[in-house]
Chain A
Amino acid sequence: MTELTTPNPAQTTLSRWRTTVGHMMGTRHGAIGTVILLLLAMTAILAPYVAPYTPLQQTTQSLAPPSAAFFFGTDNIGRDLFSLLLYGAQSSLLVGLGAALAALLVGGTIGILAGYFRGRVEVVLMRVIELFQTLPVIMLVLCAVALFGSSFSLLITAVALAIWPMEARLVYGQYIKLREREFIAAARVADLSTWHIIFREILPNAAQPIIVQVALDASIAILIEAGLGFLGLSDPSMVSWGQLLFVAQDYMDSAWWMSVFPGAAICLTVIGLNLFADGLNEIVDPRSSRGMGGLQ
């Protein structure tokens, strides 16, 4: 029926990645989001080389407004805000990615177990998910900080705890849906292992919405991290955007730049991640664009 050029077997995996990136840059949201995220990642990596000052270096001028010497001004103890923001990108992105990946690992595992094996496993795990969704995570984090003091790994754990149920529900839903498809029955009849079915047959078909969710999770994680920093709960040995906002509270009327620039950085990152997720969503998988689509 449909005549298409034969794809060269060696290039398929690589070329599929390449087309995915190509499609991504073809969507408006995806392109803008990707560019923002790339810029942020470069900022985080290159911070030590491009920042004019180290984060703890104090200058003689405190609360200096933005100028040629201090692009974004200085804070109350005379640190260069521009340098702080560059270093802050490191911790914010690390928390965002770290928490999102941790949530993916925990939520993904539980979602797969509940969605694929069903039965009693499903009942128990779904209750666990609901339990975590109802827990007041912020309160727990406050208690944990009071007990153990604040640290970076605690922060990541806390944020991951808050977001993993969403990931678990999504993965669960995908597995519930896909396990009923006929190709899964075919794999079972061919005696392929459960491991193979879960990771080789189902996972690639579930990947797209999961990746979208991870991007959204990362943006939520960054917001939660900022919120915790704003409450003064972030790791004091690291610079983070939320922490900068926390300090800025007291200088709202005298030094606007202390709150505006960190706030803008958080906004930009969250917008970038959401646009990226939108772009991923918009890329229709190759089936419908290459095939006949909805035409009978």
Chain B
Amino acid sequence: MMPPILRLNNVSRSYKTRNPDGWGSTVLRAAADVTLDVYEGQTLAIVGESGSGKSTLAKLLLMLHPPSSGDVEFRGASLAKLDKRRRSEYRRQVQAVFQDPSSSLNPQMTVEQTLGYVVRRHDLVSDADQRGFLLRQLESVGLEPADHYLTRYPHQLSGGQQQRIAIARAMMLEPKVIIADEPLSSLDVSIQAQVLQLMLDLRTRTNVGFVIISHDLAAMQSIADVTAVMYRGRIVEIGKDVYDKPAHPYTRLLLDARLASNPRHGRIRAAAATKTPTVRSVRLEGGCSFRDRCPYAVEICATSEPVLRPVGAGETKAACHRADEFSA
């Protein structure tokens, strides 16, 4: 296998916030000791709930935030130390699509302006060819007739059309990998399916890799090659078939929380009349950070922090002391 294009090497990112009383500050670790490889042509899904730090990983990979410790590497070189030429290469090869397409396009610019600035910055084509180039780009993300869209402002387009423009902006640089932070969550279900299909098409056509940050396990199951599950800033499980054979109790919890797609198999109706108490999340010192919600927690979980390690014979890795018992 080729060496990874992007690599998080033991990366942590913490945010300092002043306490409400004004005395001292609290350090929040949005990402803690994360090691992760991103390969060209591969689709890596990072799933987790809000606050799990998955968006922080996207920002780190895109160099929008510097890591607090550890290294983010592009083809073996630390992002912080890239020279001008390598940096420009990085910016072309690693692109992004954001969550809210209405916010990721400048409201004051037409589609042509938004895309045109990028074309000129990277000298993609000569000024004379620019219009034709942009038209081809729009067609390749399924916006036809393309000239109809060039003069539009973002607010004149639907969410799905906006997201296609955002994808065109990323694809036009012919990147090796696109980091997509919740690219579907602000779209309607039927539009989600179309955008997902577009991403699949682009992958087969150009062999572009994706890192997709999402809370939607069902959508990721249909597209991901590898899935990483995050909980409280850590990757708790990573592997190819976490959906069918979850090794970490948290992954299992997430999978169990999916709603039924068949009314005959609905669990809520079946299990009605039991009072489910809310779980009070507390920041835990030491040990496994999932143990307060974990039905299988034992003594060792409170004292020793589990590290990500291979489980069973497969390629799955999980950070759980008892992972082997479950997957057996």
Instruction: Spell out A's residues near B (CB within 8 Å).
Output: 1-2, 4, 6-9, 12, 181-183, 185-193, 196, 200-201, 204-205, 286-287, 290-291
Contacts and interface: CB of A to CB of B under 8 A. Distances in A.
Contact of A185 (B98, B121, B122, B169): B98
Interface stretch (B103-111, B193-201, B213-221): B103-111
Given A185-B104, A190-B173, A290-B156, 6 more contacts: A2-B157, A183-B106, A186-B166, A190-B91, A191-B88, A290-B155
A185 B64 contact: yes
A187 B121 CA distance: 11
B103 A183 contact: yes
Given A183-B103, A188-B64, A200-B117, A287 B96 contact: no
B107 to A, nearest CB: 6
A185 B152 CA distance: 21
B104 A182 contact: yes
Interface of B: 62, 64, 87-88, 91-92, 94-96, 98-100, 103-110, 112, 117-118, 121-122, 148, 150-153, 155-158, 161, 166, 169, 173
14 contacts: A6-B148, A9-B150, A12-B110, A182-B99, A182-B104, A186-B98, A186-B104, A186-B105, A188-B62, A189-B94, A190-B91, A191-B122, A201-B106, A286-B153
A189 B95 contact: yes
Contacts of B103: 181-183
Given A185-B98, A196-B117, A12 B106 contact: no
A12 B151 contact: yes
A183 to B, nearest CB: 5
A205 B62 contact: no
B105 A183 contact: yes
Given A185-B96, A189-B96, A6 B106 contact: no
Please list the 10 inter-chain residue pairs (A to B) with the smallest Cβ-Cβ separation, ordered nearest first.
A191-B91, A1-B158, A182-B104, A204-B108, A182-B103, A182-B98, A189-B96, A287-B155, A183-B106, A190-B118
Nearest to B104: A182
Contacts of B87: 191
A269 to B, nearest CB: 32
A152 to B, nearest CB: 37
Nearest to B101: A182
A4 B156 contact: yes
B112 A291 contact: no
A189 B121 contact: no
A4 B94 CA distance: 35
B280 to A, nearest CB: 31
A189 B117 CA distance: 13
Nearest to A200: B117
B200 to A, nearest CB: 22
Contacts of A201: 106
B117 A186 contact: no
Given A2-B156, A182-B98, A182-B100, A191 B121 contact: yes
B110 A291 contact: no
A192 B108 contact: no
A205 B108 contact: yes
Contacts of A287: 107, 153, 155
A12 B111 CA distance: 13
Contact of B62 (A9, A189, A193, A196): A189
Contacts of A189: 62, 64, 91, 94-96
Given A186-B96, A192-B118, A2 B166 contact: no
Contacts of B100: 182
Contacts of B94: 189
A291 B107 CA distance: 12
Contacts of B118: 190, 192
B64 A2 contact: no
B289 to A, nearest CB: 28
Nearest to A188: B64
Given A4-B156, A290-B155, A190 B108 contact: no
B307 to A, nearest CB: 32
Contacts of B110: 9, 12
Nearest to B172: A190
A290 B154 CA distance: 12
Nearest to B191: A1
Contacts of B169: 186, 190
A155 to B, nearest CB: 36
B137 to A, nearest CB: 13
A197 B135 CA distance: 25
Contact of A9 (B121, B151, B166): B151
Contacts of B104: 182-183, 185-186
A196 to B, nearest CB: 7
Among A12, A186, A192: residue with most chain B CB under 10 A: A186
Among B94, B106, B155: residue with most chain A CB under 10 A: B106
A181 B105 CA distance: 9
A12 B150 CA distance: 12
A2 B151 CA distance: 15
Contact of B106 (A9, A193, A205, A290): A205
Contacts of A192: 117-118, 121
B151 A7 contact: yes
A290 B94 CA distance: 36
A9 B99 CA distance: 29
A186 B62 CA distance: 10
A52 B16 CA distance: 69
A216 B91 CA distance: 43
B293 to A, nearest CB: 31
